[in-house]
Every structure is written in C-alpha cells, then in structure tokens.
Structure 1
Amino acid sequence: MLPQGYEGGGYYTYGTPDQGRSQYAHPRLMTLIGLVAEAWAAIDERKFGVGNISLADGVKHPDHATHRSGLEVDVRPVRKDGRRLPCSIHDAQYDREATTKLIALFRKNAALKVVLFNDLAIPHVTPAKGHHDHFHIQLLGAK
C-alpha cells in the first residue's frame, strides 16, 4: 500500500474508498511515485494528490473499469493555491504550467502506456471522458 500522510516528499493521498484502501500499488508504481515525489519536492513546495490505484488483491474497483494491476494511478492537477482539494482544468485555481511539469516528471521516470487527461494543451496526453479533474497514468504492462 502506498504510504499515507507521507510528509517527506511531494505528494498527499486521496481517493475512494478512503484511508488507503484504494492505494495498493505494484512495486514499479510505488517506485515511480517516490521518484516523482522527490523530484517534485525539489522544484515546488506544493504537494500533488495521488488518488486511486487498486484495491487489495486486484479485485474489481467499483469506480473504475481498470485499476486492478497496481500499475495505474489517478493524480490531481496542481492547484495554484496548493490546497489539497479537487481541481478541474476549468477552475481558476488550475495551474497548467505546474501540471505540465508534473506529467513530464512521470514520463521521464517510467515507460508509460498512456496519460489520460483532458487538457490538450499539455503534450502527450490522450483525452478521455471524466478526466478533467485528474490525470490517469498507466505504466506499460498494465492490463
């Protein structure tokens, strides 16, 4: 399970169900999140939100068609005010520049199958229904 309340790096956790029950990650994804969190903390004081990954034992997730392998994660876009709250690409608090940098860090540190996100001003993202308030990272090898 992804460490909750990780104060040593650049992320915080959110998701459904809460208290980490939807944050069971494959070791490759845990390593990636740790690398990105460390790199992010070196360039920005705000933390990014890590949401749903997988449920224990890879059971079907009630909120997702995927998210069973531990190789997929939902991440909130960065907010200008740094608050740990949801943010849509349509919100005044949405920080496109910072979100672009964050996505680039994920791409730099792992072989990704896809990044689903509806802000097409950001390079190398694929639009998908419901992905205006988070981006979905899928590592190669995820089913």
Structure 2
Amino acid sequence: MDGIHDSIVANNQFVVGLNLDIYSFAKVTNITGKLELETIEEGGYNDSPRMFRKAKTSPDTLILEKGVQTSGLDDALTLGAIVNAGMILVMRDGSIAKQYTFEYGIITKWETDGLDAMSSSLLIRRIEISHTGLVEV
C-alpha cells in the first residue's frame, strides 16, 4: 500500500479527514441523509399534496469510535472545534469503496481511554460531530 493507506490501523477500514488532519477509526455510525419537506394542499388539485424542500432545522450527528490520528496537528479535536471540511473514506482491499463528505461541523463530544503507559488501547474512544449533512460522493 502507499500514501494514506499505510497508516490505517489494523482492523480499521475507515479513514476520516477533518480539515487537513487524517484519522483512522474502527467504527463510524450515524451515516445518514435526511431531507425535510413542507407539504401544502392546493384547492382544485386534490390528488396529492405539493411538496417543497425546507431549510434544515437541526444538525445531524456523526459518531466516530475507536480511532487514532494518523497525520496532522495533535490539538485538532478539541471540544467546540470547527470542522470546515469533513470526509469519510470506506476502504476495501486498499482502495476507496465509498466516500462521504460534509462542509461544516462542530465537535460536540469526545471521550478517550485513560492514559496508561502499560496499555495498548487506542487514544480516541469516541467523538461526536454535529454537522450540516452528509453527501455521498
């Protein structure tokens, strides 16, 4: 393997880019897309309501679990940090099988394992990012 694929942790198949930093996670959940609609019934057109796209009223939340940072700055995942560009790469046999992106997010929660020099546990246990919505590329 070459480049970004060299630094994926064993059993981790998801590469996550947050701003310019790269991470490797074992589990990524809440990969969903949702569209909010407003329906209006018109007089004279009774077969079905008219549907219009509404502006999003609440953020989506992405949950990243059991990971390590593979490149970038060490202090990028602070609580309240803004993520101007996010990307999730689903890897299969060393190549990209799927890709998701979001434009804007905020880190709303993070957890780490306890610091233990005798342990081989991963540093990042869980991160939650509230974001504007995922797009499948």
Compare the two structures and name the one with the higher strand fraction: 2
Please say which structure displays the higher CA radius of gyration.
2
Structure with the larger helix share: 1
Higher RCO structure, 1 or 2 (CA under 8 Å, sep 6+): 2
| TM-score, normalising length: structure 1 | 0.26
